[in-house]
Each structure stands twice: as C-alpha cells, then as structure tokens.
Amino acid sequence: MEGFEPKIVAFCCKWCSYAAADLAGTSRLKIKPNFVVIRTMCSSRVDPEFILQAFLNGADGVLVAGCHPGDCHYVNGNYKTLRRVMLLKKVLEQLGIDPRRLRLEWIAASESRKFVVTIRKFVDELKQLGPLRLEAGDDNGSNG
Amino acid sequence: MEPRIGVFVCHCGINIASTVDVKRVVEAIKGYPGVVHAEDYVYMCSDPGQELIRSRIKEKKLNGVVVAACSPTLHEATFRNTVSQVGLNPYRCEIANIREHCSWIHTDRDKATEKAIKIVKSIVEKVKLNDELLPISIPITKRALVIGGGIAGIQAALDIANAGYEVILVEKNPSIGGHMAQLSETFPTLDCAQCILTPKMVEVGQHPNIKLYNYAEVEDLSGYVGNFKVKIRLKASYVDWSKCVGCGVCMEKCPTKVPSEFEMGLTTRKAIYVPFPQAVPNKPVIDRENCLYFKTGKCRICEKVCTFGAIKFDEQDEFVEEEVGAIIVATGYELYPIEKIGEYGGGKYKDVINGLQFERLLSASGPTGGGVQRPSDRKVPKRVAFVSCVGSRDPELHKPYCSKVCCMYLTKHAMLYKHRVPDGEPIVFYIDIRSDGKGYEEFVQRAQEEEHVTYIRGKVSKIYEDNGELVLLAVDTLTGEPLEVRVDMVVLGMAIVPSPAVYELAKKLKIQIDANGFLTEAHPKLRPVETLTPGIFLAGCAHAPKDIPDTVAQASAAASKVLEMFSQKELQHDPMVATVDEDRCSGCGVCVTLCPYGAREIEVKDGKRVAKVNEAKCEGCGSCIAGCPAGACQQRNLKDEQLVNMVKAVLE
Ligand code: FES
C-alpha cells in the first residue's frame, strides 16, 4: 500500500464535533488533508444511506462524530446515532465492507485535540486496511 | 430553478491564501455545473467585499451564493444578510469553511488547495437544492409564569408586571418571601432583610398584573416557547381565603404545636398557621399531617371559633390551567442537612446550629426577639465558633463547589453577635475567605480590625460535647499548631443545595440540571439566564449558590429576557425543520417516538394515517428523518438528496 492516502468523509454535528474541528483550526493544530467535513445539525441526521453512498462513491472510511452521551444539543439524538451505527456495522460486514471503516466518535466542542487524534488514528488504520475495493470484496486488510 | 451560483473565495489576508492557492480554487470552480461566476477577494467580509457580492448578484443575476471563507459560525449570518440586501433569499447563501477546516490545519499547499476545491464543490451542491425559506413565525402569549416566590421570583415578577405584562407567580409555601424573609440583617450594609423585602412582598400581593398562587405547585407543562400551557395544583389549605379576614383566633385556639419551619425549629407554630406575621398573603393554612382532626377525627376547634365560617375541612386539591408565553424558574435553595456531617455530631448537639437558625436568633422578630440565646438552655453564649465550608468544597464526601455566601454571612454573624453580646468572643474557622463582592472585603476587614472577631485558618475536624461545652478540634494551618477550642455554641456555614423539588420540576419542564442538581444555563457566559429549552429562563440559587445582589441582578436579567421576547409581535423560528411527503408516509409513527420535542404527531386525513410536523416545536435535529423507514421525511435545506450530492462532490 505504498503511497496510499485514504479518503474519509467526516459527518460532524454542528454543536460539538464541527465546533471541535473549528477549534482545531483556531488552535492551528495540524492534520493530514485526508478528510472532508460535512455538517449536519445533529449526528442523528446521518442516514445510514449517506454512509453507504460514501463507500459506493470511493470513500475508504466514514467518520460520524457527535456530542458526548448526555450532551446532545437535541437531548438524545446521539443515542439514536449510536444504535444506527451499530446496526450498520453489521450490515457492512454482510456487504463485505470491513466495519472498522466506519467510526463513531463523541467529540465535544472543546476537544480539538481529540478530533485531530481521531482523524490521525483513523488514517493510520485505513492505511493498514488499504483502499476499499467493493467488487473484489474488502479483504485488503489481510493481504494488504 | 436553473442554478446561477456565484462563488466568492476569500483570502482572509494570508490566513487562507498562504496555504490554499485561492486563484486555483477560483479557476477550478468556474466550470463546475451550476456555477456562473467565481472570483476572489482579500477580505470578503469587509465592506468592499460585501459590496462586491451584492453587485455581482445584480450583474450576473445570481440565484445562489457560496462564500468560501471562515467557519459559518462566524459569518454565515453576515453574508446571508448581505445577499438579502439585494433581494436574494438568505437561505440561498451558504459558507464553505476553507479556513478552520482547511488552510489552518494543513501544511501541504497543493493538497490543501485540492481539499478546498472539494469543500467548495460540496457547498455548491447544497446551494443548488436549497429552497427559498422564510423564518417561521409563532404567536406569543404575552403572560409569564414565575415559579418560586423568594427574592428572585419576586424581583422577576415585579419587573415583568411593572412593564405592563401579566405574571402568574406560583409559590409552594403558604407565603412568598423565601429564605430572605428569614434573614436578620444583610451583608455588607447590615440593613434589615425584612425592611427591604416586605415592601416588595406587599407590592407583589397587591399588584394588578400579578396573579399569585401561593401554596401551589406546577403539576404539568405542555406546549412550547410563546405558547405554554401550565397546570397548577392548588394545595388544599382547608381555609376559605375569600372569607378569612386574618384575625388569628383559630391559631390562638388550636391545641396542636409543631416545630415552626420558618423559625428553623427553634420554636413552635400551630397546626393551623401563618408561617410568619408579615406573610403575603396573610391567610392561614391547616397542616394536614399534624392537625388533630385529620389525625384522630376529633377537634375542629378552629371551625368553632371562626366567626366567618372560613374553615373547610372537606376541601380538596384543585387544579387550574394557565396559558403563558415564557417561564422563569426561581426555586431557590435549601441548606445541606446537618445529619450528613457526622464529625460535627450530625444534629445531636442542640447548640450546634446552622446559619439560618442563627439568623432567627439574631432577628428582632425571631423566637428570642433578637437576643442571642443558645437553644439548649437559653443561656447567652459567651464564646461562639463560626465554621465555614461545612459540606462545601469537599468533593470526596459532600459537595465539590463553593457555596459562595458562607464566608460573608459568617462574618456578618460574628459581627452581629458581638453587637448583641459585647463581651462575647466570636471565633471564625475558615479555609480561605472569599469576599469578592462590592464592599465585601472591607466588611471582612472591619470584622477583623474594628470588631475584634478572631479568625482561625483551619478546618474543624471534629466537634463534641463535654461538660456543657462544645469542643472543636482543628489545626491552625498558619502556625501548624493543633487546636482544641471550647465554646458555648457553634454556627455551621452549611453548603447550599438546590431545593429538592427542582429535580421533579426540571423533568416536567424538560430543562437540564447539572451533577449537583442545580439548573443548567444555556451557556455559562453568553446565555447565563436562559435554559436550553426556548422560553424557559432561570434565576437565583436554583441555578447556583449566590448572594442577594447577584440573585436580584439575575432575576432582573431573566425578566428582561422575557420582556425582550414580549416586545416582539411574533417569534421567529429557524425554518430548517422536518417536512413530510404525505403520499409516501405510511403513518407508522416511528418519527413520533424519535422526536425529543413532541413535535411529531399522527393525524388521520381522509381515512389515512399521516405524520405531521409542528413547526414551532421542531428544532431541526433531523433524527426523525434518518429514522423514517419510508423515506417520507425530509429536512428543509438539508434534504437527503443534498447530503448525498455533497458526499459525492467531496469524493470526486
Ligand atoms: S447535536 Fe451533537 S450529537 Fe446531537
């Protein structure tokens, strides 16, 4: 996998994780540009469909980030997110997509460092898994 | 609508331009489908920058705008306002965040530029399908509910009522006044609490705009900002207040004595009682728990002696419903129970009392007429210890926070004790003295230097009784010496805790409380008197321990927030709410269970079950949309199609 740079779509809720990514910028922390953030109001807006579309269109990984449990701006949206992501991970497996390619993280508005570290670790893990090849089945991890 | 989108890329001086090749972004986006114009400028948010956007909208007949600049948190409102000045719907303008999420966090110029292009493309995709929206307007009932009739609730109610709006004030006790009515004199001016409070209580009682429900509790709340419906339980008082003239004969003749709550158990009251002589309203209630008739079926003396026929033993709790537009929660505090402090006797020593009890001993209207006497034998104590931080600042065993007022009121206590007992010896034990208000430090200085109050820096580890005296064990942390101090009486500066009923109330109102049970504000600095639930505000010690000046200031602040709301014709609500495609909706009701705001309902329309959205209640989180199995729900300007197109754009 020499030179492989994974592509990540990061869904961030407006109130916490998007703000954490903003803070990473304001604090001039440095990350590799492997990801692009898409803002939703709450992590619970993220339809499993969007995640599947991301994989279908060439994403190697998808990050869903929301407020910590109990801190969701909309009372309990992130618990719904948690259930949906868990379920989707099972489905991904059946579709031959390594569930590690989908990550759920709670990142508070103040946790700019956690945002950076999350992306960094995700990039490293995806580098090990290699590019997602849908037709061939996603077993890059083992022979990668 | 055929998209005619203009993209405006900002350099932000060198903040963006040093890492992102702005010219390249402009070139790359020029040919993108839907984009008819692209250009860059050094500071897009400046006046000339905004003017540039405005003139291009007119020249190029743009029907959508993307500003590639800093985070939307900063200038989304600015640029939406800019475009609306030339007639473009503000919701047709979006921000591509290429500063915080790109130029500031990346170093490789080439890759950062590529990423910026992707970000811009995704936002162009979003704008293409953005609808022209108008804020949703909601009517407002211009009447406020204030819960709690202590100084916070009184101040808030008066401010709103004096501005010309009706106020419903609900107080759980028979009288308003709260804990402030129990205080003797107040720091740092030593003016008498009753003298400054009772006129305000009277004003509340007589105010034509205030409807007071005393001895009442909030039972239930429904509705939403501007349009709440509140159900109030009027507890049975067993006295017909419309007949009662407040002569007091019933209280005189009642044979049952119980410890008086108002006097902190230092004396008794009757089973039919007015909590204190200056009570507002000055009408008695029968305490059902202790009334002899309710306990044994015999007595009814009060009924016999009442010449007005005001006693009603068969009275039941009643319920009333009121419609209000805004709510202020001011439910106040209690003292942490002494029973929890085992090392100080846990309540078994009669002469170890709390601060409110000492207030009653100092008060001219208190059980001793203001003469300091110790509870056990009514002797005048010659040495009194005042202990601060009891239960406060103790994260291991009790409460982690500072109760804010104890340093000051114990200083006041020591001083007032000295005034009443000139040859007495007050000793204050403290950890450190927090005297951060106006005139507070000077007050403490005065106690130490002019009034000769002894201050010992050290926490008291144990209190026990020995030979009619109380012994305090402590270490003087300034000298390192262990101390054993013998006194006649001890006053404890107990931690302030939220009123216990607040937990249930918070659930009914759907507002948040913190780990210590205090109400949570929407933002600690910028929205200190709002809760996260629109239309519900907070004031006083229900929010955190605070002194009277801060409480009054906060109550006035909460009132002014309510008045700000009431000064508008209608409320404006973000239009990015959920929508339903009724043809697709199967009426399954999943959305109803997912919605945390009760904004979704199932309605039967032409014999078919369909889901509805209450736009005033919908906060636009989108969780019902992602959960709809039929794909019948969408969020305005954040439709599935938009999000999928955005995903595709960033992966191209
Ligand atoms: S708002 Fe952040 S997860 Fe709901």
Residue B476 amino acid letter: D
Contacts of B623 in chain A (CB under 8 A): 42, 44-45, 74, 77, 80
Cβ contacts from A onto B, under 8 A: 123
CA–CA distance, B260 with B283 (Å, rounded to integer) = 16
CA–CA distance from B38 to each of B6, B82, B90, B113, B650 (Å)?
A: 6, 17, 19, 16, 19
In a domain, residue B363? The reply is yes
CB contact under 8 A, B97 and A46: no
The mean pLDDT values, 10 residues at a time, for chain B of 652 residues are 96 97 98 97 97 98 98 94 98 98 97 98 98 94 98 98 98 97 96 94 97 97 92 97 94 96 96 95 95 96 96 96 98 97 95 97 94 95 97 96 97 96 97 95 96 95 95 95 97 96 90 88 85 92 97 98 97 94 95 90 93 92 95 96 98 92
The residue among B459, B477, B497 that closes a domain is: B497
Sign of CA dihedral B411, B417, B422, B423: negative
Pocket of ligand 1 (CB under 6 A): A 13, 15-16, 42-44, 66-67, 72-74, 77-78
Q: Do A45 and B638 touch (CB under 8 A)?
A: yes
Distance from CA of A23 to the nearest CA of B (A): 7
Same domain, B297 and B253: yes
CB contact under 8 A, B651 and A57: yes
Whether residues B288 and B408 share a domain: the answer is no
Provide the pLDDT for residue B357: 97
Does A46 reside within a domain? Answer: yes
Ligand 1 centroid–CA A119 distance in Å is: 19
- Domain shared by B359 and B462, yes or no: yes
Pocket test for ligand 1, best of A12, A40, A44 (most atoms within 8 A of CB): A44
Tell me if the bond preceding B528 is cis, omega within 30° of 0.
no
Let me know whether B365 and B483 are in one domain. yes
B528 in Cβ contact with B521 (< 8 Å): yes
Q: Please say which residue of B128, B151, B172 terminates a domain.
A: B128
What value, to the nearest 5°, has the Cα angle with vertex A118 and ends A116 and A124? 105
**In this structure, which long-range contacts are made by residues B286-289, counting pairs with CB atoms below 8 Å and at least 24 apart in sequence?**
B286/B237, B286/B238, B286/B239, B286/B311, B287/B258, B288/B236, B288/B238
Whether B445 maps to a domain, the answer reads yes
Tell me whether residues B647 and A32 touch, CB distance under 8 A. Answer: no
Same domain, B35 and B50: yes
Q: Is residue A138 part of a domain?
A: no
Residue B647 lies in a domain: no
CATH of the domain at A74: 3.40.50
**Distance (Å) from the C-alpha of residue A113 to the closest C-alpha of chain B?**
12
Quote the pLDDT of residue B511: 85
For B408, phi then psi, to 5°, come to -75, -45
Domain containing residue B83: CATH number:
3.40.50
**C-alpha–C-alpha distance, residues B94 and B96, integer Å:** 7
- Contact present, A63 and A103 (Cβ < 8 Å): yes
In a domain, A144, yes or no: no
Q: Is residue A139 part of a domain?
A: no
DSSP code string of B436-470: -STTHHHHHHHHHHTS--EEEES-EEEEEEETTEE
Residue B467's alpha-carbon distances to B50, B343, B464, in angstroms, are: 83, 18, 10
Q: To which residue do tokens 């003797």 refer?
A: B184
Q: Where are the beta strands (DSSP E) in chain A?
A: 8-13, 35-40, 61-66, 102-106
Is B259 part of a structural domain of the chain?
Answer: yes
User: For position A139, what pLDDT does the model report?
Assistant: 57
User: Rounded to whole angstroms, how far apart are CA atoms B237 and B502?
Assistant: 22
Judge whether B433 lies within some domain: yes
Considering only CB atoms, A36 lies closest to which of B72, B115, B619, namely B115
User: Is residue A3 situated within a structural domain?
Assistant: no
Rg of chain B, C-alpha, whole Å: 32
Q: Give the pLDDT of residue A74.
A: 87
pLDDT, position A142 = 44
Coil, helix or strand for B337? coil
User: How confident is the model over B371-380, as pLDDT tens digits?
Assistant: 999 999 999 9
Q: Is residue B21 part of a domain?
A: yes
- For residue A91, what are the domain limits? 8-129
Q: Are residues B413 and B489 in the same domain?
A: yes
Which residues in chain A are closer than 8 Å to B621, comparing Cβ atoms? Answer: 41-42, 44-45, 73-74, 77
Tokens for B407, please give them.
């340093």
Domain check: are B263 and B383 in the same one?
no
Among candidate residues B513, B541, B566, the one where a domain is terminated = B566
Tell me how many domains chain A contains.
1
Yes or no, beta carbons of A21 and B101 under 8 Å apart: yes
Return the closest-CA partner of residue B157 out of B109, B102, B205, B225: B205
The CA B633 to ligand 1 mean position distance, Å, reads 19
CB B328, CB B170: distance < 8 Å: no
Interface test with B, best of A5, A13, A28, A45 (most B CBs within 10 A): A45
**Can you give the pLDDT at residue A144?**
36
Contact B346, B253 (CB under 8 A): no
- The atom of ligand 1 lying closest to the CA of A73 is 1
CA of A14 to the centre of ligand 1 (A): 7
Residues of the domain holding B458: 334-497
pLDDT value at residue B590 = 95
Residue A134 domain-assigned? no
Q: B509 and B425 in one domain?
A: no
CATH of the domain at B616: 3.30.70.20
Give how many domains chain B has, as a whole number: 5
Mind listing the pLDDT tens digit of every residue in chain A (144 residues)?
568 999 999 999 999 999 999 999 999 999 999 999 999 999 999 999 999 999 999 999 999 999 999 788 888 899 999 999 999 999 999 999 999 999 999 999 989 999 999 999 999 999 999 999 887 666 554 433
Closest Cβ opposite residue B644 in set A39, A40, A50: A50
Quick check: is A136 in a domain?
Answer: no
User: Contact A44/B626, CB-based, under 8 Å?
Assistant: yes
Residue in B with minimal Cα distance to A80:
B623
A41/B638 touch (CB, cutoff 8 Å), yes or no: yes
Same-domain status, B328 and B338: no
The residue to which tokens 């009392």 are assigned: B353
Q: How far is B503 from chain A (nearest CA, A)?
A: 16
